[in-house]
Structures are given as C-alpha cells and as structure tokens.
Amino acid sequence: MTVMVPQLGQKQLELLQMAVPRLQRVAAIMTKMTDGPKLQDAAQKLSLDLIILLVKDHSDIAKAIETATAERAHAFLALPTPLIYEHRAELARRAIDAGLPSVSVLPALAEAGFLMSYGAIYDTIVRRAAEYVDKILKGASPRDLPIEQPRDFEFVVNRATAKALGIELPKTLLLRVTRFVD
C-alpha cells in the first residue's frame, strides 16, 4: 500500500485556485526538497508561482509564514511531515493571522484550522493493508501482491477558517466537499 499519489499536489493547488480566485503565488512549506520539483511542475501547469519554504525545526515555522507574507503569497500548501503535523494548530493559527488560506493532505490539519485538506482516506488504506497482512499470513508471497495506490479521497473544509479569512467558497467547490469541520 502506498499513500504517494503524484497528482495530489496539483489537485490541492487546483482546489486552492477555486477557493481563492486571485491566487497567483503559493508558498509550499516542506521539510525536504525532494517534493519540490514535482510541486513546481504542478504549479507551472496551473500558471502559479511557487515559493518553496524549507522548515527544519519548530523555530522555522514562524519564519516560514513571515517569508510567505513578505513574498506576497496568496496561500500556502503544507506537505505532511511529522514536524508539520506536530505543530499543525500553531501553523494554522499563524496562517489565519497572516490572512493565508492553507491546504494539506491530512484531514487533521483542516481540523486544526487549515482552510482545507485533500488526500487519501487513511482508514481505507489501513483496511486494505490489513487484507494484505491476512493474505501473507495465509501463505501469499508479498512479492506477488500488487502495490496499490489509494482510490478513495476525502476533501475536508474548515468553515470557521473560511469565515475568519473572509472567503466565500464557490458552490462548485462546496459540491466536492466530503466533510465540513468548524
């Protein structure tokens, strides 16, 4: 089982474009540069300028939001890492204070105050992984089992964050939402 979906960054940027019609510049907060080139390609396809901000520890989070604001970003995307997950509430609060709509792959970030999240439904992945474990315990060889990408995705929108940012989400976007949080 894998949660890596190459098109996910582009989809998140598309959703940001729908939510923020004036969107031209997006700051991407990440802990490693490995995902940067893929995200840069996705941004170019959507005619967006991408500002890559590397964070290595907690002290970099405030600097990243300050840099995003100084670079006139209209929104930001946070790649899921343990550091970003651990400090999700602070990151969401700082983004709201800076007036930056935010998106990530993890629903927990939308629940913490990000504007939205779009990603695989992890419960489904865990169930599928359990099925693989069952097959292996019954004698199947792991090398004979195919690697699967997620098929089920969840789009979570935080209504309180939209209100705090003064964003009225278009109906075309709201129709895609699978779950709202406040």
What is the structure's pLDDT at 36? 77
Specify the higher pLDDT residue, 131 or 83: 83
What average pLDDT does the structure give for the chain?
Answer: 89
Q: Which domains does the chain have, with CATH numbers?
A: 8-169 (3.40.50.2300)
Interstrand relation of 75-78 and 49-54 (parallel, antiparallel or unpaired): unpaired
Instruction: Identify whether the C-beta of residue 22 lies closer than 8 Å to the C-beta of residue 11.
Output: no
123 pLDDT band, cuts 50/70/90, is confident
What does pTM read for this prediction? 0.85
**What pLDDT, in 10s, does the model give residues 130-178?**
888 888 999 999 888 888 777 788 999 999 999 999 999 999 999 999 9
